[in-house]
């Protein structure tokens, strides 16, 4: 019996190792930002996203889900997807604004914390949905800021860095609006705008007409990701953030039209 308890405890510990790795990446990302190592800071947040994507899956696979693991995961997300991106965007783009720079970075951190608290409350009360998130998820908001920071750092300091050609032209303009983008992402995190969760697939086993197109699109995205990783992440998650707004406005106008 004791041996079974030890084995069970060992199984529960495995997912926590991914969470600990997530926390470590967030912590060292903050240190890298403080030391002006912006690309390193950004890639560490990406590493945290990779680890975060697996801790829950590993826990479910091993049947080792626990309330402790859920709380640890949220605390890790607070460090890696709220604090670390806030520090990164502050040091790379906001620190020269002595009036609003720090408050805007803090706003991203604070609203990220509120987003995580909201998610936990909804999950514990059974009000959460498997189809969509209420508000922009913190990893998605972090991905937009971090991928931009890496791309801009490559643009500014490495002439031989791998960037999509049109991104090279638009990065300086995006940089000028990064404060507004940061505020916008913070507001989206605490909004009630629904965002697709992508947690489940269709139950249909038939081959759809669009399956070939989707497969080719997937191959193109993967190929571009390996060639221009930070640019593709910035574009995809930027579109994801905007799609929530677009779909909400579309539904609102549709309802108004139906009532009129």
The full set of domains in the chain, from first to last, is 2-199+206-259 (1.20.120.1760)
pLDDT, tens digit (0-9, with 9 covering 90-100), for 155-211: 877 655 578 887 888 888 889 999 999 999 999 999 999 998 876 544 444 445 557
Tell me the three state secondary structure of residue 129: coil
Reported as a pLDDT band with limits 50, 70 and 90, residue 3 is: very low
- Give CA angle at 109 (136, 138), nearest 5°: 25
Spell out the alpha helix ranges (H) of the chain: 2-34, 38-61, 67-77, 84-89, 101-125, 138-157, 165-176, 178-189, 211-227, 229-259
H or E segment to which residue 133 belongs: strand 132-134
Reported as a pLDDT band with limits 50, 70 and 90, residue 66 is: low
Indicate the range of 27-31, 32-36, 66-70, 242-246 predicted with least confidence. Answer: 66-70
User: By C-alpha distance, which of 53, 90, 74, 69 is closest to 9?
Assistant: 69
Q: What is the pTM of this model?
A: 0.84
């Amino acid at each position: 019996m004791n041996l079974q308890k030890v084995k069970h405890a060992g199984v529960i510990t495995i997912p926590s190792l991914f969470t600990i790795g997530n926390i470590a990446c967030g912590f060292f990302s903050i240190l890298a930002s403080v030391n002006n190592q912006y690309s390193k800071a950004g890639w560490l947040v990406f590493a945290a996203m990779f680890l975060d994507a697996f801790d829950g899956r590993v826990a479910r696979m091993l049947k080792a889900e626990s309330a402790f693991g859920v709380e640890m995961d949220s605390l890790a997300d607070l460090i890696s997807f709220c604090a670390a991106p806030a520090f990164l965007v502050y040091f790379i783009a906001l620190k020269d604004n002595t009036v609003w720079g720090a408050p805007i970075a803090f706003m991203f951190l604070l609203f990220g914390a509120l987003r995580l608290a909201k998610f936990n409350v909804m999950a514990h009360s059974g009000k959460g949905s498997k189809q969509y998130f209420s508000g922009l998820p913190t990893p998605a908001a972090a991905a937009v800021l971090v991928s931009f920071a890496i791309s801009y750092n490559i643009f500014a300091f490495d002439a031989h860095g791998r960037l999509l050609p049109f991104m090279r032209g638009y990065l300086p303009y995006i940089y000028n609006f990064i404060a507004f983008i940061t505020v916008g992402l913070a507001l989206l995190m605490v909004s009630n705008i629904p965002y697709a969760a992508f947690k489940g697939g269709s139950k249909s086993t038939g081959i759809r007409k669009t399956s070939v197109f989707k497969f080719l699109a997937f191959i193109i995205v993967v190929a571009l990701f390996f060639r221009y990783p930070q640019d593709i992440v910035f574009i995809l998650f930027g579109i994801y953030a905007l799609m929530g707004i677009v779909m909400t406005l579309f539904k609102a106008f549709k309802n108004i039209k139906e009532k009129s």
